[in-house]
Chains A and B, each alone.
Chain A
Amino acid sequence: DIVMTQSPDSLAVSLGERATINCKSSQSVLYSSNNKNYLAWYQQKPGQPPKLLIYWASTRESGVPDRFSGSGSGTDFTLTISSLQSEDVAVYYCQQYYNTPYTFGQGTKLEIK
C-alpha cells in the first residue's frame, strides 16, 4: 500500500497569512503515460464529511476559492492557502488514487493563531 505522510500534524496561522501543508507519498503517484499526479486534497470541518478541494495535484475543484492551490509532483506535494480566512479552520487530508487501496494522509489540523 502507498503510505501518505503529511506534515505538520497541526498548524496555527494568523488571519491573512499563508498556510502550507505538505504531503509525501511512499512511492511516486505520477502516471507516466498521461503525466498526471494522482493526488487529491480534501477539507473536513467538524461534524461534516470531507470536501474536495484539489485533484490531479493542482486542479482546483469548481467553487473552491482561488486562495487554495496545490503543487508538487512524484512523491512530494503541497497545499497552500494564500491568505487564511476564519472559515478555513479545518482538518486537511491528502489522498492518492494512483492505485488501490486508495490511501489518505493522517490529516493536518489548521487553526487560527
Chain B
Amino acid sequence: QVQLVQSGAEVRKPGASVKVSCKASGYSFTNHYMHWVRQAPGQGLEWMGIINPSGGSTSYAQKFQGRVTMTRDTSTSTVYMELSSLRSEDTAVYYCARDRSGWTGFFDYWGQGALVTVSS
C-alpha cells in the first residue's frame, strides 16, 4: 500500500534552516510528482511547491522562491524540503503529498506531517 513517511518534529531558531524528509513506498516513486503543503496551527492549507522525482525538476510558489529547496533521492525513494531563513510565521505542520497521476495538481496520498516550530 502507498505510504509516505515523514521525518519528525523540529525546533529551530529564527534565521536557521530546516530539512524535512518524506520516504515513499508502495508505488513507483518516479511516476508521481510530489508536492509540499504546509498548515500553520489552527489555519488552512498552503501549497509550497512540487518536485518531479524522476528528473528532479521543481516549481515553487513565488512566496517561497529563494527560501525553499526541494530535492529527491531516487535510491531511497525520498523527497526533501529545505526551508531557510526561518521566521516565526514558518511555524507549521509540513506535509508531503503525492500527485494523483504524473502532474495533475491534486493529492491522493499525504504524509503524516512534520511539525516545525520556529522560536527563539
Determine if B12 is an interface residue (Cβ-Cβ < 8 Å). no
State in angstroms the CA–CA spacing of A14 and B61 once bound together: 40
Number of interface residues of A (CB under 8 A): 21
Shortest Cβ distance from A60 into chain B, in angstroms?
A: 13
Q: Is the CB of B47 within 8 A of A55?
A: no
User: Could you say which residues of chain A place their CB within 8 Å of the CB of B104?
Assistant: 97
A65 interfacial contact with B, CB 8 Å: no
Name the contact of B106 in the complex, choosing from A95, A103, A105 (C-beta under 8 A). A95
**A95 adjacent to B62 (CB under 8 Å):** no
CB of A93 within 8 A of CB of B95, answer: no
User: Are A93 and B45 in contact (CB-based, < 8 A)?
Assistant: yes
Are B100 and A49 in contact, CB atoms less than 8 angstroms apart?
no
Q: List A9-63 residues whose CB lies under 8 Å from chain B.
A: 38, 40, 42, 49-52, 55, 61
Q: How far is the CB of A71 from chain B (nearest CB, A)?
A: 17
Q: Is B108 an interface residue (CB 8 A)?
A: yes
Q: B106 to A55, Cβ gap below 8 A?
A: yes
B59 proximal to A (CB < 8 A) = yes
B53 CB within 8 Å of chain A: no
Q: Is A100 within 8 A of B59, CB to CB?
A: yes
Q: Give the residues from 95 to 113 in chain A that come closer than 8 angstroms, CB to CB, to chain B.
A: 95, 97-98, 100-107
A101 near B61 (CB under 8 angstroms)? yes
Would you list 23 pairs from A and B whose C-beta atoms are within 8 A, ordered by A residue? A40-B106, A40-B107, A42-B107, A49-B110, A49-B113, A50-B45, A50-B97, A50-B107, A51-B110, A55-B100, A61-B108, A93-B44, A95-B106, A97-B106, A100-B105, A101-B62, A102-B105, A103-B47, A104-B44, A104-B46, A104-B47, A106-B44, A107-B44
Residues of A within 8 A of B (CB): 38, 40, 42, 49-52, 55, 61, 93, 95, 97-98, 100-107
